[in-house]
Amino acid sequence: MALALAGCRCSGSGLQQARSAVSVIPATLDFGNVYVQATPTRGVTALNSGDAPDTLTWSWIGDGGGPFSSDAGALSLAPGASLQIPFTFAPTQPGPASAAITFAWSEGSAGVTLTGNALAWPPCNAQGPCASAAFDPQTGICSQQPVADGTACDAGEVCLVNTVCVSGECLGELNSCDAGDACSLSYCVPGEGCHTQDESAKCQGSDPCRIYSCDPKTGCQSSAAPDGTPCSSKESCQTATICVAGACIGTAVPSGTPCALWWAPCVTDATCKGGSCDSPTADAWTPGQELWSWVDAGYMVGRGYGDTPLAVDGAGTTYLPYQAKDGTETLRWMALDACGRARWDVPLGQVSDVNFAETAPSLVDGQLIAWNGSQVAGLLPATGAVLWQTDLAALAAQATGLPDGSLLETTSMVATNQGQLVFGANYDYQSYDLLLALDDTGAPVWTQQIPFDSTGLLADFAGDVYFAGTDEAPAGYPDGGSWLASVDPTGNLRFALASVAGSPQAVGPNDIVTLQGFTGGYYYSAGLTSFGFDGVQLGATVDLPMDILGDALGSVVDANGVIYTVGAGNPNVGAWFGTIAAVTSAGSLAWSATLPGGQLPISLPALGDGDTLFVVTMAQGQYPDDYLLGFDTTQGTLLWQADLGLDPNYGLSEFQSASLALSATGQLLVSNLNGVTAYFAGQHQPPAGAPWPRQGGDDTNRYCPPPPPGG
């Protein structure tokens, strides 16, 4: 502030000098934060509190005002007057700014500093393809406005085309993706775009004498099949159905036309002759005749000294394990086709004393379940590829806490309708067994400790598992020494019945049939007993005219519930003899028969086409012969007997056993210590769904169906 003389004035005491009194405020004018391109204006106040007028001027100090400016010039200040001097801050780039001003009047001056901070514009984006955005630096507001209707826009979706803005929304038409191809279906997947699916299969028809196709321009069309094209899959040697001028007609089959016998897939001389499929080779076969043999490159593996278990599929392919002779002790699994030719051969684990004795394959839901004492794997039947593999010994060790999993011995397996594979296993020198359940990928489901040795697993229709047990009674259990027990699909024990020897043999609609032993001594007389699914005995035991002797005793059941059992006869008569018996579903002995020549059974029985039962036997003596026998199932009549002629040095000697299986191609497969041999099963009917003789029938065995209708 400064004072200046401006004139004189009179007072009561005489003449006095008049003066101005000018001040400028504030000393610092701060604009604060201002967006670039904004133009805020602030004022500097000049005040004349004197009694004389004055003139105020101002000027920039230094390089000028920079982003600061003012249009004000020199100002006149009357006595007592105040004026606002406007200054504008108009930044063009972000950052702090300042400028200095000097104000002057008649006899004084003052300085003022201008300051401000310029801010960059914040993001101001349009919210959607049909909006425009504008930022106002004066207000600091980002405003949204819709664009004009009809403006082209991008909706960001490949399945919308011809998109325009309507009332602020981007709308369009669905993309049909139509490529103009009548043989394909085009469609659009949001976020992905156009897809095309082949639809030419829609043109296929059921007329075997038409050739169906699809033209991309015209769509489905058909034309007549060439004359002579077969038009039925059910051909016989009497009538063939062929296409003539687009129509399916029957025609006589010339003699000499090649055909195939389903029960003799490996013969090459089968031709049509007089309306029948005739093969001089196959027509000369007799029941029990050897058809082919696969001699093992190693040692066969099984429960006994030659009892290599077999699994056979619907195409007649046989699956079996064996031990390689290359010094590696590798356990191998292989598949033989219906002619005995190897399809594949894969290694799967090492052979030990445990898994040498306990090894078996099973076909379950499209997988070959290959298992031994310590490992289980799911194989692809077509190639032998390993789908999964699980260490049973490790699971058992984890469940029991025992450190030595090598003591594990797997004795049996059953597949349930709950999708579980349940294994019975025991540890040597332990007073209990284990049940281990896996799912169809080999993942563990549950384990259950059982206080006795478990054998003979069998599952019912609810997924409950039944098994036999033999051991001294553990603490807390009733004394009995032998058991029939069951667990539910979660592994919980349902019941355990003491004093029930043997093992489950068959599942009926309402019961479990078990094989039991009676009386004392080393050998037990045998009988079959029916138990309800709750463990309650349903009827009296059916006595069998045989004894329980090692592994040679066992049963099979047919579709009518009839149980066929083989075993050894009572030695009290002075010599052993083999016996075969049939028990009806009502629980009565239908018939029994003695094996010829004092022979003893060494395999479980195998059922044929409903009226034939097969079993492998051996004669008694130091170097016994081995036989294959066929019985009539209605009365137990011996139909035929074939000497297998096995080398006594490699065959099935006394107390040894064999595996027997009937294939879908009508072959009897017998495994022994040295390999697998296929034998002719004799007269039989084709299985359900078997093709006609030309492609797999059996005219030689008196099965000759009539021509198809219209043929």
Closest CA relative to residue 121, chosen from 103, 109, 108, 134:
134
SS3 call for 149: coil
pLDDT at position 607 = 87
pLDDT at 359 over 80: no
43, 62, 70, 94 from 33: Cα distances, Å = 17, 24, 19, 10
SS3 call for 162: strand
pTM score over 0.95: no
Write out pLDDT tens, residues 413-468: 888 988 899 988 776 555 567 888 999 999 999 988 877 666 778 888 889 998 88
Q: Which residue matches tokens 């805020």? A: 40
Write out pLDDT tens, residues 259-285: 888 788 889 898 888 777 888 998 889
Buried b (16+ CB within 10 A) or exposed e, 127-149: ebbbbeeebebeeeebeeebbee
| DSSP labels, 201-223 | GGG--S-TTEEEEEETTTEEEEE
Nearest 5°: the CA angle 346, 348, 354 is 135
Contact between 292 and 678 (Cβ < 8 Å): yes
Closest CA relative to residue 676, chosen from 379, 310, 312:
310
| DSSP labels, 542-597 | EEEEEEE-GGG-EEEE-TT--EEEEEEPPGGGSS--EEEEEE-TTS-EEEEEEPGG
Question: What single-letter DSSP state applies at residue 510?
Answer: S
The pLDDT > 90 percentage for the chain reads 29
Contact between 482 and 531 (Cβ < 8 Å): no
Please name every residue paired with 529 in a beta bridge, in sequence order, or none if there are none.
Answer: 514
CA dihedral for 612, 614, 619, 624, sign (positive or negative): positive
pLDDT at position 530 = 84
Chain-centroid distance of CA 509 in Å reads 31
* Residue 574 or residue 543, greater confidence: 543
Mean pLDDT of 351-369: 69
Write out pLDDT tens, residues 567-595: 876 656 566 788 899 988 888 899 988 89
Question: What single-letter DSSP state applies at residue 152?
Answer: B
